[in-house]
Structure 1
């Protein structure tokens, strides 16, 4: 689980759920085997709290990267030039737990991916993932590469062949380094989408998702000891139980709570302790007890959301907050630490961090409005047309 010293910060960013939260159904205990919407289902209700939790998770990781990592606390660190615990003695102990935003986001991802794919065709699922993930990602790869080329300090830009391969989002599978270390979470998300697509293709039901959780969890447990690279890659043992927790929580929201779903959620909590322990050892700045406590509180909050306790929170601005999350996640780390490196001796440290975070949020909003939205429409039109052509039977002409 531990990695080489040169990749200390590789696992520090959440990959958000990476899906816009749309309307969510009410908890309906009956009709569990129907993939269509059950009668009496609550329509037009959006869980705005999920959008807010996504941004909170992302901001946790941003603060962690800037002022809460072991790397940033070294006397000779390239970010601040001196231990960050001396610069932010009050904030540093709290920021050291920001890496948990990764785990929070995997849980949210399991919830919203199950929600967004319910009753949809595999092609719809595929198109929604492409138009959601790639526009901002392509911009982030090019933007980060350009900034690191101009401001090489904390991180160096990749070779042209490497950053070009990064545009595929499949570089991890090819053994190519990421343009920004935070992209490792995209690889975890893509593997989750791949195996969950198999269930989507058969039509989602309560029973099928429960069976999927049990089968995937069991496979993930044995994969780590199998030594079979393909099995380890597909089952994703490090993140599987966080996604499973999100799936169970969504089933609670859609169908109502029951002992089986609580058992799955409880088992996910138990099995997640292995990854949390390894992350604590890897990060080397936080405690196991504190990490478990925060993760447990988060699961309880998510359970409250799933059971409808936050339905009255309908603040429209949370939708915008959720939209900022993905671009912020993609651009904050390599670019942000480079900015800190070059301005640390010219600007007050607290003002620098606050201003940098504010600037990243503004940039994220601009990327969402000027890149994500127009490019997503273009891609959706093209991909929809492609699938339409695939559905068209060939023109067979006969000659007399």
Structure 2
């Protein structure tokens, strides 16, 4: 994996960082979804990557870490902490192959592949996904290696063999006995114990693939994670660019009330709504505006279950630190760049500042700090329109 230099330039955000670290380490676990909202370019995506890489740690010595000064908190946590299972999806990412983050079937598999690296199994979801593919006539032998983690491909193919031999249009006790026999052989051969119960299998086999079984996948995935929470003190799910579900409509809050808009992230609300947050599953979502979940006609999420946190602009001190990390150390140049990227006193737009820093680094000694003061208002206005 390529080195993410932007994480090296991450500046402060101490309050949000400490809040997330606290969620992972203090008991009892929170029972609310953390929703990070803020204007485009304010660094929400970078913040989520920072949380994923540096903050998803839990320590048995939290009392020795909790009171560390802000600049030392993560260093002390890394010294005493251990990694917890974490998975991240960016809904704004370009679809590629089996990675289509806004579609329930694909997105859940994206989460599954990441969580499998931490030993988390999803037996109900696996059986349902294979049954879904089979009922729709997909080439399972081709799709399974693309969807499942490498270490689970063989057992997934064994499950597929058991399902393929069933007269799926028939539902009854004889069918389930046949399935149990085939599943027993498959799991015994692989020396694995994880498998859906007979009742879960019966419910899954009884559903038509679309829309019923497809709509059940998020709930089944959540149920598997709830079981896995018994073996992990925390499991972290990170969801970025939530506004991508709504396209350009995200700028018009009223338009989000329409049912067709709310249907776009229905599977996500279903997943979040069925997670046992009290068992230690931490869900963090980032988007430009507060989500219209409480008003959703299906799978609404009441406000009392959402912890809204603003991701605002950088302070002048944070912006100056960022420039220092980026290699711009001349105080006069720092002051000029911070002043030019400021939208209000002590409020510096992170993305705009980054663009300015790139210009300054590329120009080197050819650029004088005074040059930024001579830029005409038309250029500044154009940049503001672009950022909006």
TM-score above 0.5: no
- State the structure with more CA Rg: 2
TM-score (norm 1): 0.27
More helix per residue: 1 or 2? 1
TM-score (norm 2): 0.28
RCO comparison, higher one (Cα < 8 Å, 6+): 1
More strand per residue: 1 or 2? 2
